[in-house]
Amino acid sequence: MYAVTKVIPIYGKDTKTFFYKKVKGGKGILILEKLVGGTTECYRELSYVNNAGGLMGLGTGGRMGPVSTYYLGRQSDSTVIKITHGPRFKKFNSIINSFFKECPQLLEKYNSGFFKKEIESLVDMTKFYNETGCTTNFRK
């Protein structure tokens, strides 16, 4: 496991906690904000880009805005899975059905449209998973 680091954001008055995590199949370590804690966890990486798609600070000009990338992980694991596409994509559906496979209640709600078809719904799905007792079915 990696150490925990508290970071004070530039904007805002709250202190947020960030975690070092490695992406499964990736290289290097990311610093991610934990959005949901528990047996299953949801993280976010927030970055800023300009309207041309370049990274902030590269001098390409244009308007800049935040971009969130979401990750799912298990409390017992130092690696996370990057969620690269929203619910309209087959890969997203495949990841959800695989990651939450031991929780038929969640998958039934997801496939029936209970959870909004937005990537931000990962927060609600993770909370639901942790609160329903599905965590007792989890096998690492």
Residues 84-108: pLDDT tens digits?
765 566 788 888 889 999 999 999 9
Alpha-carbon distance 71 to 74, whole Å? 10
Strand 30-36 relative to strand 4-7: parallel, antiparallel, unpaired?
unpaired
Residues 47-73: pLDDT tens digits?
877 665 555 444 455 556 777 889 999
Alpha-carbon distance 94 to 18, whole Å? 27
Tell me, what DSSP letter sits at residue 90? H
Please, what is the end-to-end C-alpha distance for the chain in angstroms? Answer: 15
30 phi, psi to nearest 5 deg: -105, 155
Record the pTM.
0.76
